[in-house]
Structure 1
Amino acid sequence: MERLPRLTIPVIIGIVVLIIIIAKSSVTIKSGHVGVLYETFGKGVVTNKPPLGEGFHLIAPWNRVFIYEARQQELSDKMQVLSSNGLEIKLDASAWYQPVYSDVAKLHQEKGENYLQRVIMPAIRSAARSVVGRYTPEQLYSSKRDAIQDEIFEETKKILDKQYIQLNEVLVRDVTLPPTIKDAIERKLRQEQESLEYEFRLEKATKEAERQRIEAEGKARANSILSASITDNILKEKGIQATVELSKSENSKVIVIGSGKDGLPLILGNN
């Protein structure tokens, strides 16, 4: 009975130590994340083996595991950049990115856990300044929004591809110009629209006038040809035909005496 307490204390201590060792030797990586193993008594960050995937893992208690999110993430940033003529432009953009899964250990070793601030933000800001600096405010406001979005993506991607980061998309949500420049551009666009509308109406009126001229010329040529083809004999023949047809009508009583002018019959008593 006296030995029981003496044995119980070491057992309890041993159980506590074992629990601590197990706690230090196990790591659970959540869905959408990846682990980078750091060997304290080895060569540090393990880069020659695949990273630790999702699930439960046992490691030496003196080693550490750094967890990175492997899913696509979003960076939103508002920047002030200069146009080609030196005017300040406010750019609101987003970037979709994620670490390259197989190179996450190198990313941790060379860039660290705050790679967003160290690498991605400087890269996208540099690309935005470079791209926007090629365009005028008019181009940025109207037709070049998609173009600058694509160009910022391409330039940022060139930088991040060398930094173990995968860039999926860059979205330009808004381009804000100085109010005076914006008002001037809108006035210019309205004037251009009105000018195009006037040119359209003028062209339409010109085409209609041309159509009427061609139609009138066609009618004039037709009348000229018709007049040239009609002779006195043809008129007499047509008159005789009309008289014959009229005489056949049951509702008419025709008396023909002598002849009228130009040799045509004279019709009297037509009811």
Structure 2
Amino acid sequence: MKPGGGPARTGGMTTSGPERTVNMPRVNLPSPNRRVWLGVLAALLVAWVLSQGVRVIPAGFVGVVFSSFSGVKPDVLQEGIHFVVPFVDHVNLYDARLQEVTLAHDSPNANDAEGAIRARSKEGLDITADVTVQFRIDRAKAAILHKELGRNYVQTVIRPQVRSKVRDAIGQFSAADIISTQRQAVEASITTSLRDVFSRNNLVLDSVLLRELRIPDSIAKAIEQKQAAEQQVAVERNRLQQSSISAQRAVVEAQGAAKAAVEQAKGEAQALSLRGKALRENPQLIQLTVAEKLAPTIQTVMLPSGGNFLLDLKSLGSAGTAATTTAAPATDKTAP
């Protein structure tokens, strides 16, 4: 310490009593260019803002643009890259691929509201139906769908309408027809009514599939017995028809044979008449006929020169032989 009690300084360090204060040397760094930094920041900000205006619509989807100033825009964004106004336009994606809704007793989370459809047939019998509906949204009208229904259109339109139309269609048919011959007719009725409802709500119905129709077991047995009895009656009716057809065939065949016999008799009579007429006009035909009947046991020659008679060649042959035998000895006597 210096005289006078002041602190002592040693080089660049100052000490005072028990505490020591150290003064480090200062280093002067060159100051950065503020304009460069501001330019970089501005470029990054612009790039970020522009990136907020780029929207990519995935395959199978459509985009509906909602503007904070004008509301829902009518133009629908299709698949690909699109540019919108950042922080003003908001893009809502809608799945435009084929979708399905299933109402069945074995579907996940099935309950009274979401499970199979319970309906009544024409005669008032309980019928439970498992139905699957396949559909898609109308791409061109996705903006109207977003404005009128929103994303919850399955719950607000599809499920309640499917239940209602299935019940209406089943009520038009009897239980026996529904589970046997009219299943396709029920599907067609449901499809026709749902297609109109879907079209009004900017949806496209693809198909309606009746997966299963169930009725009480007792009623099913009664229907089966009734159908079996009807089939037996049909078999007997077919047998009677076949017997009737066989009898009719026999009658037709007998009538044909009788007509053939009559025609044959008429032909024979006409032939006899013509033959008699020919014999009357040509008497020589009688001898020709007799000769044909006698041949070949009797040899005859017909000589029509003066009259009508038959000459027995065998008798002439026998007479000629006898004459030759008698004349032979006379000839021998006169021989020298």
TM-score range, shorter chain: 0.7 to 0.9
Match of 1:197 in 2: 235
Letter in 1 for 2:86: P
| CA positional deviation for 1:35 | 0.6
Determine the C-alpha separation between the residues in 2 that align with 1:72 and 1:147.
Answer: 24
Match of 1:30 in 2: 58
Determine the C-alpha separation between the residues in 1 that align with 2:196 and 2:120.
Answer: 22
Rg comparison, structure with higher value? 2
TM-score, structure 1 as length reference: 0.74
| CA positional deviation for 1:153 | 1.6
**SS of equivalent to 1:112:** coil
- Which one of the candidate residues 51, 58, 61 is aligned to 2:86? 61
**SS of equivalent to 2:52:** helix
| CA positional deviation for 1:7 | 7.6
Aligned-residue sequence identity (percent) comes to 27
Match of 1:74 in 2: 100
Letter in 2 for 1:171: L
**SS of equivalent to 1:85:** coil
Alignment CA distance shift 1:2-1:128 (3 Å) = farther
- Which one of the candidate residues 118, 125, 130 is aligned to 2:168? 130
Q: Number of paired residues?
A: 246
Which consecutive residues of structure 2, in runs of 5 or more, have no partner in the other structure? 1-28, 105-116, 280-286, 300-336
TM-score, structure 2 as length reference: 0.61
| CA positional deviation for 1:26 | 1.4
Letter in 2 for 1:138: A
| CA positional deviation for 1:105 | 1.6
Determine the C-alpha separation between the residues in 1 that align with 2:176 and 2:52.
Answer: 61
Determine the C-alpha separation between the residues in 1 that align with 2:178 and 2:216.
Answer: 12
Alignment CA distance shift 1:37-1:191 (3 Å) = same
Alignment CA distance shift 1:131-1:247 (3 Å) = same
- Which one of the candidate residues 231, 249, 269 is aligned to 1:211? 249
Note the aligned Cα RMSD (angstroms). 3.5
Match of 2:216 in 1: 178
**SS of equivalent to 1:92:** strand
Determine the C-alpha separation between the residues in 2 that align with 1:101 and 1:218.
Answer: 74
Structure 1 residue 112 and structure 2 residue 138: aligned? no
* Greater relative contact order (Cα < 8 A, sep 6+): 1
Letter in 1 for 2:138: V
Offset from partner CA, 1:87-143 (integer Å, 9 cap, x none): 222223332322222321221122111211211111111111111112110121222
Please list, as runs of the form range in 1=range in 2, the aligned pairs for 1:131-150 lying within 5 A after superposition: 131-150=169-188
Match of 1:43 in 2: 70
- Which one of the candidate residues 49, 54, 58 is aligned to 1:21? 49
